Amino acid sequence: MKNTILVVGSVALDSVQTIHGSTNRSLGGSAVHFSLSASQFTPVKVVGVVGEDFPVPFRRFLKRRNICLEGMQVLPGKTFHWKGKYDRDFKNAITIATELNVFQHFQPRLNGSHSECGVLFLANIDPDLQRGVLEQMPKARLVACDTMNYWITLKKKSLLTLLKKVDLLFVNEEEARQLTGEYNLIKSARLIMRMGPSAIVVKRGDSGAMLFYGGEVFSIPAHPIEKVVDPTGAGDTFAGGFMGYLAAAPDWKNYDVLRRAMSYGVVMSSFSVEDFSVKRVGRLSKPEISARYNKYVKALAIK
Protein backbone atom coordinates (compact mmCIF):
# COMPACT_ATOMS: atom_id res chain seq x y z
CA MET A 1 0.00 0.00 0.00
CA LYS A 2 2.96 2.32 -0.46
CA ASN A 3 1.08 4.31 -3.12
CA THR A 4 -2.16 4.65 -1.14
CA ILE A 5 -2.87 8.06 0.38
CA LEU A 6 -4.44 8.50 3.79
CA VAL A 7 -6.07 11.92 4.09
CA VAL A 8 -7.36 13.33 7.37
CA GLY A 9 -9.57 16.41 7.19
CA SER A 10 -13.07 17.84 7.00
CA VAL A 11 -16.11 16.37 5.28
CA ALA A 12 -18.73 19.07 4.91
CA LEU A 13 -21.95 20.30 3.42
CA ASP A 14 -21.43 23.63 1.66
CA SER A 15 -23.93 26.33 0.70
CA VAL A 16 -22.34 28.76 -1.75
CA GLN A 17 -23.46 31.86 -3.66
CA THR A 18 -21.63 33.30 -6.68
CA ILE A 19 -22.59 35.51 -9.61
CA HIS A 20 -23.49 32.33 -11.50
CA GLY A 21 -26.03 31.04 -8.99
CA SER A 22 -26.00 29.09 -5.75
CA THR A 23 -25.89 25.62 -4.26
CA ASN A 24 -27.35 24.40 -0.97
CA ARG A 25 -25.81 21.78 1.31
CA SER A 26 -23.65 20.32 -1.43
CA LEU A 27 -20.78 17.92 -0.86
CA GLY A 28 -17.61 19.67 0.32
CA GLY A 29 -14.80 19.74 2.86
CA SER A 30 -11.03 19.62 2.50
CA ALA A 31 -10.79 15.82 2.64
CA VAL A 32 -13.48 15.46 -0.02
CA HIS A 33 -12.02 17.91 -2.54
CA PHE A 34 -8.56 16.44 -1.99
CA SER A 35 -9.72 12.83 -2.32
CA LEU A 36 -11.74 13.28 -5.51
CA SER A 37 -8.69 14.82 -7.14
CA ALA A 38 -6.06 12.41 -5.78
CA SER A 39 -8.15 9.32 -6.52
CA GLN A 40 -7.68 9.96 -10.24
CA PHE A 41 -4.07 8.87 -9.74
CA THR A 42 -3.95 6.48 -6.79
CA PRO A 43 -6.16 4.83 -4.10
CA VAL A 44 -7.27 7.10 -1.25
CA LYS A 45 -8.52 6.41 2.26
CA VAL A 46 -10.39 9.12 4.19
CA VAL A 47 -10.47 9.74 7.93
CA GLY A 48 -13.16 12.25 8.87
CA VAL A 49 -16.45 12.74 10.66
CA VAL A 50 -20.04 13.42 9.57
CA GLY A 51 -23.40 13.70 11.26
CA GLU A 52 -26.48 11.56 10.89
CA ASP A 53 -27.76 13.96 8.24
CA PHE A 54 -24.94 13.16 5.79
CA PRO A 55 -26.71 12.05 2.60
CA VAL A 56 -26.33 8.39 1.64
CA PRO A 57 -25.98 9.29 -2.08
CA PHE A 58 -22.87 11.34 -1.22
CA ARG A 59 -21.32 8.32 0.48
CA ARG A 60 -22.07 6.11 -2.53
CA PHE A 61 -20.66 8.74 -4.88
CA LEU A 62 -17.33 8.87 -3.02
CA LYS A 63 -17.01 5.08 -2.94
CA ARG A 64 -17.49 4.92 -6.70
CA ARG A 65 -14.46 7.19 -7.10
CA ASN A 66 -11.97 4.71 -5.57
CA ILE A 67 -12.17 6.36 -2.13
CA CYS A 68 -12.27 4.18 0.99
CA LEU A 69 -14.58 5.53 3.72
CA GLU A 70 -13.83 3.02 6.50
CA GLY A 71 -12.38 5.87 8.57
CA MET A 72 -15.36 8.22 8.22
CA GLN A 73 -17.09 8.32 11.59
CA VAL A 74 -20.82 9.00 11.92
CA LEU A 75 -21.72 10.81 15.13
CA PRO A 76 -25.09 11.91 16.55
CA GLY A 77 -25.81 15.40 15.31
CA LYS A 78 -25.32 17.37 12.12
CA THR A 79 -22.50 17.48 9.57
CA PHE A 80 -20.12 20.45 9.39
CA HIS A 81 -21.92 23.13 7.33
CA TRP A 82 -20.27 26.17 5.72
CA LYS A 83 -22.23 28.99 4.09
CA GLY A 84 -20.39 31.56 2.02
CA LYS A 85 -20.41 33.76 -1.05
CA TYR A 86 -17.98 35.25 -3.53
CA ASP A 87 -17.90 38.67 -5.14
CA ARG A 88 -17.59 39.09 -8.89
CA ASP A 89 -13.78 38.85 -8.85
CA PHE A 90 -13.78 35.60 -6.82
CA LYS A 91 -10.73 36.83 -4.87
CA ASN A 92 -12.00 36.08 -1.37
CA ALA A 93 -14.68 33.90 0.18
CA ILE A 94 -17.08 35.81 2.43
CA THR A 95 -18.26 33.55 5.25
CA ILE A 96 -21.94 33.88 6.09
CA ALA A 97 -22.03 31.09 8.67
CA THR A 98 -19.78 28.31 9.96
CA GLU A 99 -21.62 25.52 11.75
CA LEU A 100 -18.96 23.11 13.03
CA ASN A 101 -21.49 20.67 14.49
CA VAL A 102 -19.91 17.18 14.91
CA PHE A 103 -16.63 18.40 13.39
CA GLN A 104 -16.07 20.42 16.56
CA HIS A 105 -15.49 17.16 18.43
CA PHE A 106 -13.48 15.41 15.71
CA GLN A 107 -10.91 12.96 17.04
CA PRO A 108 -9.29 11.07 14.14
CA ARG A 109 -9.43 7.29 14.54
CA LEU A 110 -7.08 5.12 12.52
CA ASN A 111 -7.38 1.38 11.97
CA GLY A 112 -4.73 -1.14 11.00
CA SER A 113 -5.08 -0.63 7.27
CA HIS A 114 -4.64 3.13 7.65
CA SER A 115 -1.23 2.75 9.28
CA GLU A 116 -0.07 0.72 6.27
CA CYS A 117 -0.61 3.60 3.84
CA GLY A 118 2.61 4.90 2.32
CA VAL A 119 1.51 8.52 1.92
CA LEU A 120 -0.15 10.78 4.48
CA PHE A 121 -1.87 14.09 3.79
CA LEU A 122 -2.87 16.11 6.83
CA ALA A 123 -5.51 18.54 5.59
CA ASN A 124 -6.29 21.77 7.39
CA ILE A 125 -7.21 20.82 10.97
CA ASP A 126 -5.83 21.50 14.46
CA PRO A 127 -2.05 20.84 14.41
CA ASP A 128 -2.39 18.83 17.62
CA LEU A 129 -4.75 16.46 15.80
CA GLN A 130 -2.42 16.39 12.79
CA ARG A 131 0.51 15.41 14.99
CA GLY A 132 -1.54 12.73 16.72
CA VAL A 133 -2.30 11.13 13.36
CA LEU A 134 1.31 11.39 12.20
CA GLU A 135 2.52 9.55 15.30
CA GLN A 136 0.35 6.58 14.25
CA MET A 137 1.89 6.47 10.76
CA PRO A 138 5.48 5.26 11.23
CA LYS A 139 5.59 3.59 7.80
CA ALA A 140 4.63 6.64 5.74
CA ARG A 141 7.30 7.39 3.14
CA LEU A 142 5.83 10.83 2.35
CA VAL A 143 4.04 13.17 4.76
CA ALA A 144 2.48 16.46 3.68
CA CYS A 145 0.28 18.91 5.52
CA ASP A 146 -1.82 22.01 5.00
CA THR A 147 -2.65 24.71 7.51
CA MET A 148 -4.27 28.14 7.78
CA ASN A 149 -3.80 31.53 9.41
CA TYR A 150 -6.13 30.57 12.29
CA TRP A 151 -3.74 27.84 13.47
CA ILE A 152 -0.66 30.00 12.84
CA THR A 153 -2.14 32.61 15.16
CA LEU A 154 -3.52 30.37 17.90
CA LYS A 155 -1.25 27.30 17.84
CA LYS A 156 2.00 28.34 16.22
CA LYS A 157 4.15 26.41 18.73
CA SER A 158 2.25 23.19 18.06
CA LEU A 159 2.43 23.80 14.31
CA LEU A 160 6.20 24.32 14.46
CA THR A 161 6.55 21.01 16.31
CA LEU A 162 4.58 19.31 13.55
CA LEU A 163 6.63 20.90 10.76
CA LYS A 164 9.78 19.25 12.07
CA LYS A 165 8.24 15.89 11.09
CA VAL A 166 6.69 16.58 7.67
CA ASP A 167 8.24 16.40 4.20
CA LEU A 168 6.05 18.92 2.42
CA LEU A 169 3.94 21.92 3.42
CA PHE A 170 1.13 23.61 1.49
CA VAL A 171 0.42 27.27 2.33
CA ASN A 172 -0.90 30.33 0.57
CA GLU A 173 1.02 33.60 0.29
CA GLU A 174 -0.54 35.19 3.37
CA GLU A 175 0.11 32.11 5.51
CA ALA A 176 3.76 31.86 4.42
CA ARG A 177 4.33 35.48 5.36
CA GLN A 178 2.48 35.16 8.65
CA LEU A 179 4.41 32.02 9.61
CA THR A 180 7.81 33.60 9.00
CA GLY A 181 7.32 37.35 9.30
CA GLU A 182 9.04 37.66 5.91
CA TYR A 183 7.17 39.33 3.02
CA ASN A 184 9.34 38.04 0.16
CA LEU A 185 8.05 34.59 -0.75
CA ILE A 186 11.45 33.17 -1.70
CA LYS A 187 12.99 34.20 1.60
CA SER A 188 9.86 33.07 3.45
CA ALA A 189 9.97 29.60 1.87
CA ARG A 190 13.63 29.18 2.76
CA LEU A 191 12.84 30.04 6.37
CA ILE A 192 10.02 27.46 6.41
CA MET A 193 12.35 24.77 5.03
CA ARG A 194 14.64 25.41 7.99
CA MET A 195 11.66 24.52 10.19
CA GLY A 196 11.59 20.99 8.77
CA PRO A 197 9.84 20.45 5.40
CA SER A 198 12.11 19.70 2.45
CA ALA A 199 9.58 21.09 -0.03
CA ILE A 200 7.12 24.01 0.12
CA VAL A 201 4.19 24.67 -2.19
CA VAL A 202 2.79 28.19 -2.07
CA LYS A 203 -0.72 28.38 -3.52
CA ARG A 204 -1.42 31.71 -5.24
CA GLY A 205 -5.00 31.35 -6.47
CA ASP A 206 -5.50 32.66 -10.01
CA SER A 207 -1.79 33.56 -10.09
CA GLY A 208 -0.79 29.89 -10.01
CA ALA A 209 1.61 28.35 -7.51
CA MET A 210 5.28 28.20 -6.52
CA LEU A 211 7.40 25.19 -5.58
CA PHE A 212 10.49 25.46 -3.39
CA TYR A 213 12.72 22.40 -3.18
CA GLY A 214 16.38 22.37 -2.22
CA GLY A 215 17.85 25.39 -3.95
CA GLU A 216 15.25 25.35 -6.75
CA VAL A 217 12.33 27.73 -7.23
CA PHE A 218 9.63 26.81 -9.74
CA SER A 219 6.75 29.19 -10.48
CA ILE A 220 3.80 28.00 -12.54
CA PRO A 221 0.76 29.95 -13.81
CA ALA A 222 -2.86 29.00 -13.32
CA HIS A 223 -4.64 27.35 -16.22
CA PRO A 224 -6.82 29.99 -17.92
CA ILE A 225 -10.53 29.41 -17.39
CA GLU A 226 -13.17 31.29 -19.35
CA LYS A 227 -15.93 30.93 -16.75
CA VAL A 228 -15.19 30.47 -13.07
CA VAL A 229 -18.35 29.24 -11.35
CA ASP A 230 -17.24 28.29 -7.83
CA PRO A 231 -13.64 28.34 -6.49
CA THR A 232 -14.52 26.56 -3.23
CA GLY A 233 -12.07 23.73 -2.63
CA ALA A 234 -9.76 24.65 -5.52
CA GLY A 235 -6.72 24.67 -3.22
CA ASP A 236 -7.56 21.24 -1.82
CA THR A 237 -8.17 19.96 -5.35
CA PHE A 238 -4.75 21.30 -6.35
CA ALA A 239 -3.16 19.48 -3.40
CA GLY A 240 -5.01 16.29 -4.37
CA GLY A 241 -3.72 16.34 -7.93
CA PHE A 242 -0.22 17.14 -6.74
CA MET A 243 -0.12 14.45 -4.04
CA GLY A 244 -1.93 11.87 -6.16
CA TYR A 245 0.70 12.13 -8.86
CA LEU A 246 3.55 12.03 -6.30
CA ALA A 247 2.08 8.98 -4.57
CA ALA A 248 1.99 7.08 -7.85
CA ALA A 249 5.54 8.12 -8.80
CA PRO A 250 8.48 5.84 -7.89
CA ASP A 251 10.61 8.72 -6.54
CA TRP A 252 8.80 11.79 -5.24
CA LYS A 253 12.09 13.53 -4.37
CA ASN A 254 13.00 13.90 -8.04
CA TYR A 255 12.73 17.60 -9.02
CA ASP A 256 11.24 16.83 -12.44
CA VAL A 257 8.59 14.66 -10.78
CA LEU A 258 7.72 17.52 -8.42
CA ARG A 259 7.40 19.90 -11.36
CA ARG A 260 5.02 17.55 -13.15
CA ALA A 261 3.04 17.18 -9.93
CA MET A 262 2.66 20.97 -9.85
CA SER A 263 1.25 20.87 -13.38
CA TYR A 264 -1.25 18.16 -12.48
CA GLY A 265 -2.28 20.16 -9.40
CA VAL A 266 -2.97 23.21 -11.54
CA VAL A 267 -4.91 21.18 -14.10
CA MET A 268 -7.09 19.47 -11.49
CA SER A 269 -7.89 22.76 -9.75
CA SER A 270 -8.81 24.32 -13.10
CA PHE A 271 -11.52 21.69 -13.54
CA SER A 272 -12.84 22.18 -10.01
CA VAL A 273 -13.80 25.85 -10.49
CA GLU A 274 -15.91 25.15 -13.58
CA ASP A 275 -18.99 24.08 -11.61
CA PHE A 276 -20.41 24.21 -8.10
CA SER A 277 -19.19 21.90 -5.37
CA VAL A 278 -17.55 18.71 -6.67
CA LYS A 279 -19.73 18.37 -9.75
CA ARG A 280 -16.98 18.92 -12.33
CA VAL A 281 -14.22 16.91 -10.65
CA GLY A 282 -16.71 14.20 -9.76
CA ARG A 283 -17.49 13.46 -13.40
CA LEU A 284 -13.95 13.82 -14.75
CA SER A 285 -12.42 11.11 -16.90
CA LYS A 286 -8.74 10.29 -17.22
CA PRO A 287 -8.71 11.17 -20.96
CA GLU A 288 -10.03 14.65 -20.09
CA ILE A 289 -7.29 15.12 -17.51
CA SER A 290 -4.58 13.92 -19.89
CA ALA A 291 -5.82 16.13 -22.72
CA ARG A 292 -5.82 19.30 -20.59
CA TYR A 293 -2.49 18.39 -18.98
CA ASN A 294 -0.81 17.82 -22.35
CA LYS A 295 -2.15 21.09 -23.72
CA TYR A 296 -1.07 22.96 -20.59
CA VAL A 297 2.49 21.62 -20.41
CA LYS A 298 2.93 22.08 -24.15
CA ALA A 299 2.15 25.76 -23.71
CA LEU A 300 4.69 25.92 -20.86
CA ALA A 301 7.26 23.76 -22.67
CA ILE A 302 7.46 21.43 -19.63
CA LYS A 303 8.76 17.94 -20.39
pTM of the model: 0.96
- pLDDT band, very low/low/confident/very high, at 205 (cuts 50, 70, 90): confident
**Domain locations in the chain?**
5-300
Rg (CA), the chain: 18
Regarding the domain delimited by 5-300, which CATH topology (the fold level of the hierarchy) does it fall under? UDP-N-acetylmuramoyl-L-alanine:D-glutamate ligase (3.40.1190)
Summarize the confidence of residues 271-290 as an average pLDDT: 96
pLDDT class of 91 with cuts at 50, 70, 90: confident
Mean pLDDT of 223-243: 96
Task: Please count the other Cβ atoms lying within 10 Å of the Cβ belonging to residue 77.
Answer: 15
Average pLDDT, the chain: 95
pLDDT value at position 53? Answer: 97
Instruction: Give me the sign of the Cα torsion angle 133, 134, 139, 143.
Output: positive
* Nearest alpha-carbon partner for 289 in 270, 275, 302: 270
Judged on CB neighbours under 10 Å (0-12, 13-18, 19+), 138 is: exposed
Question: Cα(205)–Cα(269) distance, rounded to whole angstroms?
Answer: 10
Q: What is the mean pLDDT of residues 197-214?
A: 95
Could you tell me the pLDDT band of residue 303, with boundaries at 50, 70 and 90? low
Task: Tell me the helix, strand and coil percentages in the chain, rounded to 5.
Answer: 40, 25, 35
